[in-house]
């Protein structure tokens, strides 16, 4: 693999990054989701388990991670999720940088498409991803057992790589 995704300080996370990844995801998602969900978005155990099925691409150093994204290969398709940017650095282009890295990583791994899920209550996301070439492909329910303050579901989106 030529690692065209590895630029601008983006690297593959190590399992030792799990505590920082967990904190980063929870801080970023708390801002976006607090109006419809209570509590943390993810536990450290869940982050560690994701290393078994995919990779986290991160930006930052060992002292502080600024952004992360999870990428999971699924044959000719890949999935990305948990895009998280330090709240003090949001709107600075780090999210777009990591999306580009995730797409390049998936393409280099042989994926022809990349899929994402966003919660329908986050109404700006379909436009944000639409401008990046993603199209809506349907909806799906949230995971069983996830309690929300408002009824909601996932919006499924996909992009040809």
| 107 found inside a domain | yes
Yes or no: say if 41 and 29 are a contact pair by the CB < 8 Å rule: yes
Residue 138 lies in a domain: no
pLDDT at 143: 84
**In angstroms, rounded to a whole number, what is the distance separating the alpha carbons of residues 75 and 58?**
23
Within-domain flag for 151: no
Q: Is residue 80 over pLDDT 50?
A: yes
Q: What does the pLDDT look like over 3-13, one tens digit per residue?
A: 567 777 899 99
Domain with residue 44: its CATH number is 3.40.630.30
pTM for the full predicted model: 0.93
* C-alpha to C-alpha distance for 33 and 41, rounded to whole angstroms: 9
| Helix, strand or coil, per DSSP, at residue 18 | helix
The two structure tokens encoding residue 47: 């982050």
For 141, residues 6+ apart whose C-beta sits below 8 A from its C-beta are 153, 154
DSSP designation for 6: -
Query: What is the pLDDT, as a whole number, of residue 121?
Result: 93
Task: With respect to residue 59, please indicate whether it lies within any of the assigned structural domains.
Answer: yes
Q: Whole domain around residue 90: which residue ranges?
A: 10-116
Give the pLDDT confidence of 15-70 residue by residue, as tens digits: 999 999 999 999 999 988 888 888 888 999 999 999 999 999 999 876 789 999 99
Distance CA 11, CA 26 (A): 20
5-9, 13-17, 108-112, 156-160: segment of lowest average pLDDT: 5-9
Domain total for the chain?
A: 1
């Amino acid at each position: 693999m030529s690692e065209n995704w590895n630029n601008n300080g983006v690297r593959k996370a190590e399992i030792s990054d799990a505590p920082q990844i967990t904190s980063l995801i929870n801080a970023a998602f708390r801002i976006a989701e607090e109006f419809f969900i209570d509590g943390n978005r993810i536990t450290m155990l869940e982050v560690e388990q994701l290393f078994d099925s995919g990779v986290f691409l991160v930006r930052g150093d060992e002292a502080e991670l600024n952004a992360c994204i999870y990428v999971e290969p699924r044959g000719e398709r890949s999935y990305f999720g948990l895009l998280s940017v330090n709240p003090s650095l949001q709107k600075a282009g780090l999210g777009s940088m990591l999306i580009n890295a995730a797409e390049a990583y998936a393409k280099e791994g042989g994926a022809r498409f990349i899929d994402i899920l966003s919660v329908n209550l986050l109404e700006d996301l379909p436009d944000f991803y639409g401008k990046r070439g993603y199209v809506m492909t349907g909806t799906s329910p949230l995971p069983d057992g996830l309690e929300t303050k408002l009824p909601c579901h996932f919006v499924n989106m996909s992009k040809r790589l």
